[in-house]
Amino acid sequence: MKTSSKRTRRIFSERDDFLLMIAVRCHPHSSWVQISSFVPGRTARQCRERWVNYLAPDVCQLPWSAEEDQQLLEFIEKNGKKWSQMLPLFPSRSYSNVKNRWYSVLKNQKRSQIIEPPEKNISDPELILEDQFIWEKMHLLSEKEECVSLF
């Protein structure tokens, strides 16, 4: 009898994200297989998708604006769900960010009922501490000559 080798899904922790950011920065021309070796318990595919869709510096994680929502609705109404064709309309959004916006929010809303996402409180102490922690770690990294020594 064959046993199931199903893995349980585990969200990326702050530590996983940090290790991945360091690995990509220190080994920018390495394969994802090599980069994933610095993030225990993560595959090359998981690391690549996390980087491309969430951690890359050019990916916008700010809330969607009403204008962006309207643009997305109009594109889908005219052209259908051709995600790769709509990416030029949202240069700072990842492929999965655009698709997730449609399926999680806009698909069930009528054009006149677009709800503006809640704004993050920039003065929230938890967010400030989290950003400060990441900034300090990245600053330490930039001062080091040898990135590998951080692992």
Same fold yes or no, 13-57 and 66-113: yes
Query: What's the CATH code, domain 66-113?
Result: 1.10.10
pTM of this prediction exceeds 0.75: no
Average pLDDT, the chain: 77
Residues with Cβ within 8 Å of residue 37, at least 6 apart in sequence: none
What does the pLDDT average to over 133-137?
55
Q: Where are the domains of the chain?
A: 13-57, 66-113
How far is it, in rounded angstroms, from Cα 105 to Cα 114? 9
Residues with Cβ within 8 Å of residue 97, at least 6 apart in sequence: 53, 59, 60, 90
Query: What's the CATH code, domain 13-57?
Result: 1.10.10.60
Q: Which of 53-57, 78-82, 106-110, 112-116 has the lowest mean pLDDT?
A: 112-116
27 exposed, middle or buried (CB, 10 Å; 0-12, 13-18, 19+)? middle
